[in-house]
Amino acid sequence: MKLTRSGKIALIFLVVIIVAAVIGVIVYFVVYGKTPFYYHISFKLTNVDYDSKFHKPYSQEYIDLNERIVSLMNKTFQASKLRRQYVISHVAKVRQANSKVIVDVVLKFKSCYNNNAARFRDRTRNILLQKLMGDTGSLCIDSSSFKFSDIDMDAAENLLNICCGRRTKVSPGNKIVGGLDSVEGEWPWQASLQQNNIHRCGATLINNNWLLTAAHCFVNAKDPREWSVTFGFLLSDPKLKRSVKNIIVHEKYKYPSHDHDIAIVNLSKPVLYTTNIRKVCLPEANYNFPANSDVVVTGWGSRKTDGTSPDVLQKGIMKIIDTVTCNNKEVYDSHIKNGMLCAGFLQGRVDACQGDSGGPLVSSDSRGIWFLVGVVSWGEECALPNKPGVYTRVTYYRNWITSKTGL
Ligand code: 4AZ
């Protein structure tokens, strides 16, 4: 067959249109076509004895049990037809059932089956049921206790991120004074406490409803209606904002004394955890963070005394200074009480500063789980030699925190 010139042009035009349409469809499915599906399942383990440590998400008992269950879920789906759709699973809760336990697990999938959710749900449920009735390795599962339900995305992400003290991202090396830029997700418990929408202090998320901060942030400003809290590592681009329902200042705090410089903020509505908004772990009252431990202070405070404030959350890597040294005449001359601790360097260089107040001083354990050591409180100017930052000692106020929040 011989094509005329205009016929050839029309054919080329048609081929180009078909190729463009195919590319468009592929791009659409790669970019938009995958919908996340979340399920909430629960089942009873008949060979795991209940232990109160399962209430603490940082306990080794919880971490080990989570790992065994996640590994069972990974094996189940990686050996199934949904291996490419399965994303992650996580134990959201361990409940007591007589002397044994029931676990609540959240599962996440990504699939192109947008318009066939019911079929995807049935396939997932069947794969799980078959596995739980068969070989479940070292875990003995009562398959008659198996429950399976849908869960909406925000509630599921909240449960997937319920663990404390876990970061999503880490940036290399060491503006706080002498600090470095953080990246999104590096300090997911950091919040900005704002008075009439202006950043005043830092604060730390300790649960969906509560933040810990410094009492001195509220001197002459105790009305919760003036205050709000934002989350996100850029001050100019908050990812979430909440108003404040209640402010609890320590009963014994009396300005201008620095004693008992601690306060709790109750949010008007709970935050749902995400990969970038998570709580820190609170240490037990009897835990001791030894002198010379590595700690990190974070905040949007000024980079030098009376300096400007950054937009990117800053981190300052430093060490705990022992109280005897910090109480030396040339340092703070016996002003460091039991409810305080010093951190930084006697040479100066790295320090919290104005606007960092109320924010977190944290330390990671050997597993990379972050605990709240201190609350930025006071210091003589910023980063001066022999004048390190002084922090409210969280372990000293641990029982006070429980008495106010139940945590
Ligand atoms: C302040 O004014 C402040 N160098 C906070 C921390 C320090 C000094 C001052 C510690 O909020």
Average pLDDT over residues 233-238: 97
What is the pLDDT at residue 294?
Answer: 97
pLDDT above 90 coverage of the chain, percent:
85
Q: 223 C-alpha vs ligand 1 centroid, how far in Å?
A: 23
Q: Residue 252 corresponds to which amino acid? A: K
Q: Whose CA is nearest to atom 1 of ligand 1?
A: 354
Pairing of β 360-364 and β 370-378: antiparallel
Q: Is the CB of 375 under 6 A from ligand 1?
A: no
Q: Is the CB–ligand 1 distance for residue 353 below 6 Å?
A: yes
Element (H, E) at 251: none
Q: Which atom of ligand 1 has the smallest separation from the CA of 383?
A: 4
Q: What percent of the chain has pLDDT over 70?
A: 94
Angle at 204 between CA 358 and CA 336, to 5 degrees: 40
Look at residue 174 in the predicted model and tell me its pLDDT: 47
The dihedral built from the CA positions of residue 229, 231, 237 and 239, taken in this order, carries a sign that is negative
Residue 221 has pLDDT above 90, yes or no: yes
Q: Say if ligand 1 is within 6 A of residue 389 CB.
A: yes
Of 7-11, 107-111, 171-175, 219-223, the range with the lowest mean pLDDT is: 171-175
Render the burial of 1-30: b for 16+ CB within 10 Å, e for the rest: eeeeeeeeeeeeeeeeeeeeeeeeeeeeee
Q: Return the best residue to mutate from 376, 386, 390 for the ligand 1 pocket (most ligand atoms within 8 A of CB).
A: 376
- Ligand 1 pocket check for 356: Cβ under 6 Å: yes
**pLDDT value for 33:** 63
Average pLDDT over residues 24-40: 70
Tell how far the Cα of 269 is from the centroid of ligand 1, in angstroms. Answer: 30
Cβ 162 under 6 angstroms from ligand 1: no
Q: In which residue are the tokens 């004895």 written? A: 49
The answer to whether residue 1 scores a pLDDT higher than 80 is no
pLDDT (tens digit, 9 = 90+) per residue, 279-329? 999 999 999 999 999 999 999 999 887 777 899 999 999 999 999 999 999
Query: Quick one: the chain helix, strand, coil %, rounded to 5?
Result: 25, 30, 45
DSSP 383-400: SBTTB-EEEEETGGGHHH
Nearest atom in ligand 1 to the alpha carbon of residue 344 is: 4
Edge-to-edge strands, sheet with 100-111: 86-97, 100-111, 35-45, 141-150
CB of 382 closer than 6 angstroms to any ligand 1 atom: yes
Q: Does the structure show a pLDDT above 90 at 30? A: no
How would DSSP label each residue in 21-89?
Answer: HHHHHHHHHHHTS-EEEEEEEEEEETTS---GGGG-TTSHHHHHHHHHHHHHHHHHHHTSTTTTTEEEE
250 within 8 A of 265, measured Cβ to Cβ: no
Probe ligand 1: pick from 353, 380, 381, 390, max atoms within 8 Å of CB? 353
Q: What is the pLDDT of residues 244-293, one digit of tens each?
A: 999 999 999 999 999 999 999 999 999 999 999 999 999 999 999 999 99
Look at the pTM and tell me if it is higher than 0.85: yes
In this prediction, residues 327-339 reach a mean pLDDT of: 98
> What's the pLDDT score for residue 168?
87
Which amino acid appears at position 345 of this protein?
F
pLDDT digits (tens, 9 = 90+) for 148-194: 999 999 999 999 999 999 998 777 654 568 889 999 999 999 999 99
Q: Is the CB of 195 under 6 A from ligand 1?
A: no
Contact 184, 171 (CB under 8 A): no
CA 2–ligand 1 middle distance (angstroms): 85
64-123 pLDDT tens trace: 999 999 999 999 999 999 999 999 999 999 999 999 999 999 999 998 866 788 999 999
- Dist. CA 32 → ligand 1 center (Å): 47
What is residue 208's predicted lDDT score, i.e. its pLDDT?
Answer: 97
Residue 374 has pLDDT above 60, yes or no: yes
Ligand 1 pocket: which of 356, 361, 386, 392 to mutate (most atoms within 8 A of CB): 356
Residues with a catalytic annotation lie at: 216, 261, 357
Give the residue, out of 298, 382, 392, with the most ligand 1 atoms within 8 A of its beta carbon, to mutate for a pocket test.
Answer: 382
Q: How confident is the model at residue 11 (pLDDT cuts 50, 70, 90)?
A: confident
- 157 in contact with ligand 1, CB cutoff 6 A: no
pLDDT at 18: 72
Task: Report whether 54 contacts 103 (CB < 8 A).
Answer: no
Which atom in ligand 1 lies closest to the alpha carbon of residue 389? Answer: 10
- For ligand 1, the distance from its centroid to the CA atom of residue 305, given in whole angstroms, is 9
